[in-house]
Every structure is written in C-alpha cells, then in structure tokens.
Amino acid sequence: MFRPRVIPILLLKDGKLVNSVLFKKYTYIGDPINAVRLFNDLMVDELVILDISATKRGKSFSMELLHKLGDEAHMPFSVGGGINSIGVAREIFSAGAEKIVLNTSAYLDKKLVQELASLYGSSSITVCLDIKRFLGKPKVYSHSKAVGFSKDPVIMASEMEKLGAGELIVNSVDNDGKMSGYDNNLIKAISKATTLPIVASGGGGSLADMVAAINAGASAVAASSLFVYHGPRKAVLINYPSREDRTHAFNLIK
C-alpha cells in the first residue's frame, strides 16, 4: 500500500521555533532542538526546517544552530532559508541535511538551481512555491517581496522541473496556520503540469485533510501548526499521528 510521507515543518525566526498564521502573525513555540528530540521519539518520517527570517536579514541559515539540529536529528531532514550560493548549500549538506529547500533564490537565480542539481543531484533539490491568490488568481509569493505577485505557479513548477529540481513544496499562503485544509485545487493543477513529487503544505489540520491532498495529486503532506498544537485552545504540544492512525487514514486514498 502507498504510504505517503507525513512531514512536520519547523519554522525558525531568529533561532527560535515559531508558528505563523497567513505569514504575518508569529507565535513563539519553543526551542527547536528540543522539538527535534521529541520528533525523534515520535519516529517522524522526515523534517523540513526553514529559517523564515534568513532572507530578510540577508544572511543564510545559522550554521552553528544547524549543526546542533543535525546532531540531534535521527530522521532525514531538509533545510531552507537564505540559500543563495553553492557555498551555503555545501555547508548545509555537510551538517547532515538530505535536501536543501530553495525559495526566493530559485525565483531570482535560475542558474543556481541548475548548478545545484548538477552538483548534488535533483533528488537533493527541493523548491518551495509559496502561493497567494491575488484577485482570485494564484501567484508565486516571496517573503522578501523581491518577487511578489508575479508568476503563475503552474508555469513556475514546470520551469523548476526543467531546471533540475527534484521536488516541489506547494505552500498556500492563504491557508497558512488556519488548519482548515490544503488548497487542493492548486495541488491538482500543479500535479497535472509536472511529474515532480509534490509536498502539500499550508492549512493541514487533520489526517483527513492529508488524504484529500494526496487524492488531489500530492505525494507527501507537510504541516506546522498540526504538529505543534493540540486541542481547540491550541495548547503547545509536539505531536505526530501514530503509525496505526496513519495507516487507517491512508486506506482512504483513492
């Protein structure tokens, strides 16, 4: 039976673990190293670790922190945030990351995507498409506002595949932190335009939401709020569905 990857996303802002709503409201969650330790115990499939303040600061991911996180992680993990050169990518891989996640740099420097894919292989290069609907139409969005509402995500997905990316994270900014479900229409449109594996992100609030995203064309599902909050009052609690719960839910995949 096909068992999709279920991936917690750790958002770091100035070295602290946070959670966001609509890319605007940030809530402090705790120590990212402690979170990785807890996810070890919960035997997660994979982690994505994103420094959402790196590009704005004009800096790359803190290598000191990354080495500490890499020393703790017992699962494959991907790293994103401020990766704008081969040198930065080399340091991140040396810290134990299985993949790097490109965002703004992939939009602004397509040659970099090609060079990284050539050096490290397509399977090591993930491109995150942050997508926001503007006047009803989905457009690629950038944290740094260097790109803004400028590119059709379906076109961008096809371009990234041609450049050598091996995976796409399709992240809905409009659904970010709401825990009300993924943008499955968007996932469906992009999955039809590319053969790349798609990781659904933005809005996941339950295993049922994940099943719906897989049925829409995603091959893996990721979330942040779902794995750091518990209950209607959103008490901070690192959590992850059991293998039994995942197996039961994914039996509903068409």
Active-site residue, selected from the candidate residues 71, 109, 130, 174? 130
Contact 197/167 with Cβ under 8 angstroms? yes
Supply the CATH number for residue 125's domain: 3.20.20.70
Contact 76/101 with Cβ under 8 angstroms? no
Provide the pLDDT for residue 232: 77
Provide the pLDDT for residue 58: 67
Contact 126/99 with Cβ under 8 angstroms? yes
Domain encompassing residue 180: 5-250
Contact 133/109 with Cβ under 8 angstroms? no
CA of residue 85 relative to chain centroid, distance: 20
- The torsion region of residue 217 among left (phi > 0), alpha (psi -120 to 50) and beta comes to left
> What residues of the chain score a pLDDT lower than 50?
146
pLDDT in tens, 111-152: 999 999 999 999 999 999 999 988 888 999 876 554 555 789
Provide the pLDDT for residue 230: 85
User: Rounded to whole angstroms, how far apart are CA atoms 184 and 24?
Assistant: 22
Provide the pLDDT for residue 55: 67
CA-to-CA dists, residue 9 to 138, 177, 180, angstroms = 22, 12, 17
Provide the pLDDT for residue 148: 54
Angle at 21 between CA 18 and CA 25, to 5 degrees: 70
Residue 71 known to be catalytic: no
Residue 26: in which H helix or E strand, if any? strand 25-30
Q: Which of 109, 84, 219 is nearest to 160 (CA)?
A: 109
Provide the pLDDT for residue 249: 92
pLDDT in tens, 79-114: 999 899 999 999 999 999 999 999 989 988 999 999
Q: Is 24 exposed, middle or buried (0-12, 13-18, 19+ CB in 10 A)?
A: exposed
Provide the pLDDT for residue 49: 97
DSSP assignment, residue 81? Answer: S
Number of domains into which the chain is organized? 1
